[in-house]
């Protein structure tokens, strides 16, 4: 299995995301190692040695994705036996020309805390936690978005992702079995109608998920899952609440779809 190094003087998360996206185009597996915080020449020299040792052991030049800002550190990694993919700098030079200005590389700019919107993000995460699963209706007026849906359709991971990745204050509210006889919107939801977004899910998949939580209960029965999904979807249609089916989608896809439909502004961190 070909060895891959993700190296950075910061968290290496950008290097990972980028390298993972590139390598996922190839139909093979890779053996990846992430080395963050390579901030000194000493550490860079150790990493170079590690890359070179790996070449000697495997007989194949390791693939290296790095995002290192300081030239004196970067040059040490360059001088290793690794195959260097310097994805940041490849694009900086042409952009300098286009923008008519020089880049001013700074450490920790993307995943650091310098960003003034960082507090917005932490507030959004705390908001999503405090307003998960309808545990309180007191703060619904402060929400940017309120996700609705039956139990285990994906509300919690979606709210958390929206807050973490995009700084959106997302509450979520469950419809439970007790609501099913007379499915109406709570007053706090009604007066925030423009913020409502529904999630739905294939009843067979819901049954599977609920079975793994509470096997052979009424809650997890296919009949109950079918009924709840049907009732809730009817309500979405009646109330004209936009909704998305989570069955075959990741949290990234669900979150992106919601942003697309609602036009909510995303922060970037």
Binding-site positions for ADP: 149-156
Does 1 bind its own copies (CB under 8 A)? Our answer is no
Distance separating alpha carbons of residues 218 and 50, to the nearest angstrom: 56
Is 56 near its own copies (CB under 8 A)?
no
Sheet holding 145-150, edge to edge: 170-175, 145-150, 196-200, 243-245
- Dist. CA 71–CA 188, nearest whole Å: 55
Considering only 9, 16, 144, 245, the residue that binds its own copies (CB under 8 A) is 16
From candidates 25, 178, 218, 238, binder to its own copies by CB under 8 A: 25
The residues, any chain, with a CB within 8 Å of residue 206's CB and separated by 6 or more, are: 150, 152, 153, 225, 228, 229
* Alpha carbon 205 to chain centroid, angstroms: 22
Does the protein bind its own copies through residue 129 (CB under 8 A)? yes
Please identify, among the stretches 30-38, 47-55, 74-82, 222-230, the one whose residues bind its own copies according to the rule CB under 8 A.
30-38
Q: Minimum CB separation from its own copies for residue 4, in Å?
A: 11
Least distance (Å) from its own copies to the CB of residue 163?
9
**Quick one: CA dihedral 223, 218, 199, 255, positive or negative?**
negative
Identify which of 127, 141, 135, 163 has the alpha carbon closest to the alpha carbon of residue 251.
163
Q: With binding defined as CB under 8 A, does residue 95 bind its own copies? A: yes
Closest approach, Cβ 268 to its own copies, in A, equals 5
Q: Does 63 bind its own copies (CB under 8 A)?
A: yes
From the list 49-57, 124-132, 170-178, 229-237, the region that binds its own copies by CB under 8 A is 124-132
Residue 87 in contact with its own copies, rule: CB under 8 A: yes
Between 171 and 255, whose beta carbon lies closer to its own copies? Answer: 255
Length of the chain equals: 269
Site for its own copies in 141-170 (CB under 8 A): 156-157, 160-161, 164-165
For position 215 contacting its own copies by CB under 8 A, the verdict is no
Report phi then psi at 86, rounded to 5: -90, 80
DSSP, res 152: T
Is position 91 an interface residue for its own copies (rule: CB under 8 A)? yes
CA angle (184 as vertex; 213, 232 as ends), nearest 5:
45
Is residue 2 at the binding interface for its own copies, with CB under 8 A as the rule? yes
């Amino acid at each position: 299995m070909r060895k891959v190094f993700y190296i950075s003087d910061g968290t290496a998360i950008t290097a990972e995301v980028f390298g993972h996206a590139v390598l996922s185009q190839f139909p093979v597996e890779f053996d990846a190692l992430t080395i963050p915080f390579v901030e000194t020449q000493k550490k860079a020299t150790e990493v170079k040695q590690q890359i070179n040792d790996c070449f000697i052991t495997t007989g194949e030049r390791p693939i290296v994705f790095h995002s290192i800002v300081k030239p004196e550190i970067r040059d040490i990694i360059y001088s290793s036996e690794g195959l260097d993919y310097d994805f940041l700098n490849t694009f900086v030079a042409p952009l300098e020309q286009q923008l008519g200005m020089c880049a001013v590389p700074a450490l920790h700019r993307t995943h650091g805390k310098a960003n003034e919107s960082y507090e917005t993000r932490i507030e959004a995460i705390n908001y999503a936690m405090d307003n998960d699963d309808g545990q309180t209706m007191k703060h619904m007026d402060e929400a940017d978005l309120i996700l609705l849906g039956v139990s285990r359709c994906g509300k919690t991971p979606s709210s958390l992702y929206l807050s973490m990745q995009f700084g959106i204050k997302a509450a979520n509210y469950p419809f439970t079995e007790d609501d099913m006889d007379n499915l109406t919107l709570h007053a706090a939801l009604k007066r925030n109608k423009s913020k409502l977004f529904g999630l739905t899910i294939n009843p067979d998949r819901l049954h599977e998920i609920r079975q793994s939580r509470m096997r052979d209960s009424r809650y997890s029965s296919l009949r109950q899952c079918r009924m709840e999904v049907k009732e809730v979807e009817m309500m979405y249609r009646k109330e004209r609440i936009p909704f998305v089916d989570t069955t075959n989608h990741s949290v990234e896809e669900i979150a992106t779809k919601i942003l697309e439909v609602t036009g909510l502004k995303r922060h970037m961190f």
